Amino acid sequence: MTARIREFLKNRKDEGPCLVVDIDVVRENYVAFANALPDTKVFYAVKANPAPEILKLLAGLGSSFDVASVSETETVLAAGATPDRISYGNTIKKESEIASAFKLGVTLFAVDCEAEVEKVARAAPGSRVICRIHCDGTGSEWPLSRKFGCEPEFAADILELAHKRGLIAHGISFHVGSQQHNVEAWDRALASTAAIFRACAERGISLAMVNLGGGFPAKYLRKTPKLESYGKAIFRALRRHFGNRIPETIIEPGRGLVGNAGVIEAEVVLIAKRSPEDETRWVYLDIGKFHGLAETIDESIRYPIKTRKDRDEMAPCIVAGPTCDSVDVLYEKNPYPLPVSLAIGDKVLIEATGAYTTTYSSIGFNGYPPLRQYVI
């Protein structure tokens, strides 16, 4: 919570939940990444928060971008980035989408199987391809495993096929899982990556780039290691596996760049006990799983929730959203301590919500509008 956000919320006139993002924090985070990994280019993962103000700021600071669709590509271009600063990182693309991105000037695509190589070869001839390998996501709170990436032993075959089809076999990518707490999580993937670099070299293909993905955490309730520690651990792993021949590297932070830049202000709609002897209160907010807090699925991400009464006595609550759907419960298995004095109509602040909120908000379930966002 920054002074600028506090001031903005104090003067706010409109009703309903909203996310306020302090753009200065995004700028500070970008600089922190540049310092922690000085030889690595930043490709912002646009899906974390595609607000035009954020994209413009990052484009101006020299950032590159990781996109997953044609529409994200267009948004990034409109923000002032050139297509050579775009990586199309989604491994699941229609051939028509590849063609559209290629027409817009994108020439860097991720693949993780042979069928996708064939598509890129047809729709974006001569482009560079990065082969994504599978990571199990251990140590992360929001794993991106299984659905993406080939087994590392298969990567050289996929890249060789790309080479045969006239594409440039450019490198390897992986994602160690989002909100990754273990700074050593990159080590195993880099060991596999170095082996793939050697296997390709034996086939006469020289790979140039390692895409280290995202995974850098935002600070929620749990303590997280410093960004500096991630930078050091990654550099040590690169040295360990590549020796003096460290390839070009890029990172794709999403959460780590924008997560802590935003705060949601919401309101208590109802507080209820289900029976007189019930200890646990149900606290219903005017925001829930359908309005941007989708990452509370399985109670994976536990946001800091602050009220003006946090010095009062606390008691565990079940926290839920306002809609007529019983999955719209944020925290129940692990009840959330909130002040006993909390009352209907009180405002609550949900912190570190700058990433993965606005875009997860439904367009009007039960008539609730999408989450409003102010970038200040």
Ligand X SMILES: *Cc1c(COP(=O)(O)O)cnc(C)c1O
Instruction: Kindly state whether residue 48 participates in binding ligand X, applying the rule CB under 6 A.
Output: yes
What's the closest the beta carbon of residue 93 comes to ligand X, in angstroms?
12
Sole binder of ligand X in the list 128, 255, 281, 291 (CB under 6 A):
255
CA–chain centroid gap for 46, Å, is 8
Of 131, 135, 200, 324, which residue is the catalytic one?
A: 324
Q: Which residues pair with 349 in a beta bridge?
A: 265, 306
Calpha distance 33→255 (Å, rounded): 12
Rounded CA gap, 208 and 170, in Å? 6
Does 231 bind ligand X (CB under 6 A)? Our answer is no
In the chain, what is the greatest distance between 2 CA atoms, to the nearest angstrom?
Answer: 75
Site string for ligand X, 82-111 (x = CB under 6 A): -------x----------------------
C-alpha dihedral, 289 to 290 to 293 to 295, nearest 10°: 70
CB of 152 to ligand X, least distance (A): 17
Yes or no: say if 230 and 216 are a contact pair by the CB < 8 Å rule.
Answer: yes
Residue nearest to ligand X (CB): 214
- By CB under 6 A, tell whether 45 contacts ligand X: yes
d(CA 285, CA 143): 27
Amino acid occupying residue 108: L
Q: Does 215 bind ligand X (CB under 6 A)?
A: yes
* 66 is a site residue for ligand X (CB under 6 A): yes
Contact status: 143 vs ligand X (CB under 6 A): no
- Other CB atoms closer than 10 Å to residue 145's CB: what's the count? 15
Contact window for ligand X (CB under 6 A) among 2-10, 198-206, 211-219, 312-320: 211-219
Q: How far is the CB of 264 from ligand X (least distance, A)?
A: 18
* Closest to ligand X by CB, 256 or 322: 256
Residue 254 touches ligand X, criterion: CB under 6 A: yes
* Count of residues in contact with ligand X, rule CB under 6 A: 16
C-alpha 225/C-alpha 279 separation (Å) is 36
Q: Which residues are within 8 A (CB) of 361 and not within 5 positions of it... i.e. 6 or more apart? A: 290, 291, 292, 370, 371
Q: Which region among 23-31, 117-125, 220-228, 246-254 touches ligand X (by CB under 6 A)? A: 246-254
Report how far residue 273's alpha carbon sits from residue 318's, in angstroms, rounded to the nearest whole number.
10
Residue 44 vs 331, nearer CB to ligand X: 44
Stretch that binds ligand X, among 20-28, 214-222, 277-285, 297-305 (CB under 6 A): 214-222
| Using rule CB under 6 A, residue 149 touches ligand X | no
**In this chain, which of 72, 112, 141, 252 binds ligand X, going by CB under 6 A?**
252
Spatial distance between the Cα atoms of 248 and 258, rounded to a whole number of angstroms = 25
Q: Are strands 168-173 and 178-180 parallel, antiparallel or unpaired?
A: unpaired
Dihedral (C-alpha) 138, 139, 145, 148: value to the nearest 10 degrees?
A: -110
Provide, rounded to whole angstroms, the least separation between the CB of residue 55 and ligand X.
15
Return the number of other C-beta atoms located less than 10 Å from residue 343's C-beta. 10
- 112 interacts with ligand X by CB under 6 A: no
- Note whether 282 and 272 are within 8 A (CB): yes
Interaction residues for ligand X, span 342-361 (CB under 6 A): none
Point out which span in 27-35, 209-217, 317-325, 364-372 binds ligand X (CB under 6 A). Answer: 209-217
Is 324 annotated in the active site?
Answer: yes
Residues of this chain that bind ligand X (CB under 6 A): 45, 47-48, 66, 89, 175, 178, 213-216, 252-256
Residues labelled as active-site residues: 324
